Amino acid sequence: MLLILGGISSIEDLEDETVVLAANFALSTLDAYDDDDNKRVFSKIIKGRKQVVAGILYYLDISMFMSSCSESFTECTPGPEDRQFICSVKVISQPWMEEKMKLIDSHCAPADKDNRHMKKNRNLKKEVKNSRNEKKEEKKLARRFKKFLAEHKKLYSSRREMQRRFEIYRQNQNIIKELQENEQGTAVYGDTFFADLTQEEFQYHKGLNMSYKRQETLLKKAVIPKQSAPEEFDWRNKSAVTPVKNQNDGSCGSCWAFSVTGNLEGVYSIKHGELLSFSEQELLDCDKLDGACNGGLPENAYKAIEDLGGLETEDDYPYK
């Protein structure tokens, strides 16, 4: 069955080994976090769906029994007095990660009306479990924030400011998590130098000056060949793309210079068979048609490069 990235599809084979593995993982995780000594015993999967995210996200409705066996028993079968429950769970499978499976959400309720009075107690236990999980996640987040501060050499004026930045960092982590789980491309999201900034603060690090006047364009219109395009084409495999560069903290509006050098590097490699990294700093210092850190336009920069007679390499004229 073809999986559409980001789409949710029904699971046709509910007895598939990987699906049953996800169901049993969910139940064993609930056992681990529950104060109840009794063991959950898997019965069957009633309904299942899956979604391609950063891994496979399973939505499963599981029939299970709350047995009278202790959790220490590896094998346990339900008895006539054991209560049956229906558990709706979300499990994400990421085989390449250290933690290959993770229980995202769960809700269990008695399968029959006679046992509905148990639901309140189960929800109370779930609240206790969620409280423990929240404390655990808070500690993990604090450790990540501490690592972020050290890696990016962040210093704040006071403890109050540090706490404020931590809360902003927390909000940004939620955005990162949402993008990583649901964005349908191949990007990988995570911390950068800007992870403790608000959206409004980050705007100040974008250096594009929209008021810049364009010079009379000298760029020719591209001729598009009339032929079918390949299914995929990656210039990185043709040695036409240099490694990702660092614009540092982004306080200099030099994105236009990086765009120009990236384009020239690819064209030069295709024509001459040699991949060189060209200098953005030379454009910032010597291009008189653009505004250096106050922004610029690529078409102006190409004209400036012609006037300069070319660009130095990154090694000879590094970015600072």
Chain segment 294-303, per-residue pLDDT in tens: 788 888 899 9
CATH number of the domain where residue 139 is located? 1.10.287.2250
- Contact 258/272 with Cβ under 8 angstroms? no
Residue 3 forms part of a structural domain? no
Token pair for 229: 């395009």
- Contact 253/204 with Cβ under 8 angstroms? no
Is 178 in the same domain as 144? Answer: yes
Residue 161 forms part of a structural domain? yes
Q: Mapping DSSP to helix (H, G, I), strand (E, B) and coil, where does residue 217 land?
A: coil
Calculated CA dihedral for residues 73, 45, 114, 125, nearest 10 degrees: 60
Is 87 in the same domain as 179? Answer: no
Q: In the prediction, which pLDDT does 218 show?
A: 59
Is 174 in the same domain as 184? Answer: yes
Residue 72 forms part of a structural domain? no
Q: In the prediction, which pLDDT does 293 show?
A: 82
132 compared with 226, residue with greater pLDDT: 226
Q: How confident is the model at residue 186 (pLDDT cuts 50, 70, 90)?
A: confident
Q: How confident is the model at residue 169 (pLDDT cuts 50, 70, 90)?
A: very high
CATH number of the domain where residue 290 is located? 3.90.70.10
Cα(271)–Cα(266) distance, integer angstroms: 9
Q: In the prediction, which pLDDT does 2 show?
A: 47
Is 129 in the same domain as 199? Answer: yes
Q: Does the pLDDT value for residue 19 go beyond 50?
A: yes
Is 174 in the same domain as 215? Answer: no
Is 217 in the same domain as 283? Answer: yes
Backbone angles phi, psi at 107, to 5 degrees: -150, 125
Q: In the prediction, which pLDDT does 54 show?
A: 78
9 compared with 203, residue with greater pLDDT: 9
Q: In the prediction, which pLDDT does 221 show?
A: 82
Instruction: Give the β-pairing of 83-93 and 55-70.
Output: antiparallel
Residue 258 forms part of a structural domain? yes
In sequence order, the 6+-apart residues with CB closer than 8 A to the CB of 88 are: 59, 60, 61, 62, 106, 107, 108
Q: In the prediction, which pLDDT does 80 show?
A: 54
| For residues 199-214, average pLDDT | 63
Residue 246 forms part of a structural domain? no
Q: Does the pLDDT value for residue 3 go beyond 60?
A: no
Q: In the prediction, which pLDDT does 224 show?
A: 86
In sequence order, the 6+-apart residues with CB closer than 8 A to the CB of 290 are: 212, 256, 283, 296, 297, 300, 301, 304
Is 177 in the same domain as 277? Answer: no
Is 20 in the same domain as 110? Answer: yes
Q: In the prediction, which pLDDT does 242 show?
A: 94
Sequence-distant contacts of 234-240: CB under 8 A, at least 24 apart = 235/266, 238/269, 238/270, 239/269, 239/275, 240/265, 240/266, 240/269, 240/270, 240/275
Residue 242 forms part of a structural domain? no
261 compared with 104, residue with greater pLDDT: 261
Residue 1 forms part of a structural domain? no
Instruction: Give the β-pairing of 101-110 and 8-10.
Output: unpaired
Structural domain total, the chain: 3
Residue 232 forms part of a structural domain? no
Q: In the prediction, which pLDDT does 9 show?
A: 84
Chain segment 32-89, per-residue pLDDT in tens: 776 566 678 888 899 999 888 778 889 999 988 877 665 544 456 655 556 788 899 9
Q: Across all residues in the chain, what is the average pLDDT?
A: 81
In sequence order, the 6+-apart residues with CB closer than 8 A to the CB of 207 are: 250, 251, 252, 253, 254, 255, 293, 294, 295
CATH number of the domain where residue 44 is located? 3.10.450.10
| For residues 112-127, average pLDDT | 53
Q: In the prediction, which pLDDT does 298 show?
A: 87
Is 52 in the same domain as 123? Answer: no
The percent of residues in the chain predicted with pLDDT above 90, rounded, is: 29
Q: Mapping DSSP to helix (H, G, I), strand (E, B) and coil, where does residue 143 land?
A: helix
Q: Hey, which of 52-56, 131-135, 151-155 has the most confident mean pLDDT?
A: 151-155
Give the type of residue at 29. T
Give the type of residue at 110. P
Cα(150)–Cα(146) distance, integer angstroms: 6
Is 110 in the same domain as 123? Answer: no
Is 191 in the same domain as 282? Answer: no
Is 255 in the same domain as 284? Answer: yes
Q: In the prediction, which pLDDT does 240 show?
A: 94
Host domain of residue 153 = 119-205
